[in-house]
Chain A
Amino acid sequence: QITLKESGPQVMKPTQTLTLTCTFSGFSLTTGGVGVGWIRQPPGKALQWLGIIYWDDDKRYSPSVQRRLTITKGTSKNQVVLTMINMDPVDTATYYCVHTRRGFGAFDMWGQGTMVTVSS
């Protein structure tokens, strides 16, 4: 059974750096094809894909956040870390981590999400 859970700050100030951790179980990020991605959703708005990291450390980022976003594997084998610099109030959103497989194209398991509010 695959599970994912996001953790990190709930409130932060503009210009600060956001670090979110996705802790997962039920799969390994060393298995060929596996990917962990991040998707966010501003309040009342649509889903926005942010980026993804694959088992082989290949990464893809959304052009809209590419200059500010880094996704890495965590120090623990079952973690993925999202780092976004220079946070702004428009980055206020619920952030989800998701499981996928290279070539599958869909996100078949989602974390519960974590709400991050950016406010001065």
Chain B
Amino acid sequence: SYVLTQSPSVSVAPGQTARVTCGGNNIATKNVHWYRQKPGQAPVLVLYNDSDRPSGIPERFSGSSSGNTATLTISRVAAGDEADYYCQVWDDNSDRPVFGGGAKLTVL
């Protein structure tokens, strides 16, 4: 089955740019979706299809995908961006979704 790998933690200073990565075999051939989960809250979709933003998600959130790595980029990071971030793809072979293990973004 398809596996997505995320580094467990990412730290960044306020105002800087955070990059959260998601690894998977030929992930660039799949649509990657990203979710933000703040403590005690349900996840929220922040990017879909690699780089599209749902309504209400600021332009500071962007995404890209190449080869075996997809990246969620958050520019001008603020304390309110502290959260767990999950990547997800749809595995066409099994017709089932796959989630990464999540990455905790800490704003120093």
Chain A residues proximal to chain B, CB less than 8 Å: 37, 46-49, 60, 62-63, 96, 104-113
Contact of B44 among A62, A110, A111 (CB under 8 A): A110
Q: Counting CB contacts under 8 A, is B60 at the interface?
A: no
Contact partner, B31, options A46, A63, A105, A113, Cβ 8 Å: A105
Q: Which of B33, B45, B95, B101 contacts A60 (CB 8 A)?
A: B95
User: Is B45's CB under 8 angstroms from A113's CB?
Assistant: no
A/B pair count, beta carbons within 8 Å: 54
Pick the contact of B99: A48, A60, A108 (CB < 8 A).
A48
Q: Contact flags (1/0) for B11-53 with A, using CB distance below 8 Å?
A: 0000000000000000000010101000000111100110000
B99 touches A49 (CB 8 A): yes
| Cβ-closest 5 pairs across A and B | A105-B90, A106-B33, A106-B48, A110-B42, A47-B99
B residues contacting the other copy or chain, number (CB 8 A): 23
Q: A66 to B35, alpha carbons, bound, how many Å?
A: 25
Q: Determine if B99 and A46 form an interchain contact, defined as CB atoms under 8 angstroms apart.
A: yes
Interface of B, secondary structure class, is strand
Residue ranges of B at the interface with A (Cβ–Cβ < 8 Å)? 1, 31, 33, 35, 42-45, 48-49, 54, 86, 88-90, 95-102
The CA of A110 and the CA of B97, in the complex, are separated in Å by 15
Do A105 and B97 have beta carbons less than 8 Å apart?
Answer: yes
Task: Say whether, besides A47-B102, A105-B89, A106-B88, A60 and B96 are in contact (CB < 8 Å).
Answer: yes
Across the interface, which residues of B come within 8 angstroms of A110, CB to CB? 42-44
> In the complex the two chains form, is B42's CB within 8 Å of A112's CB?
yes
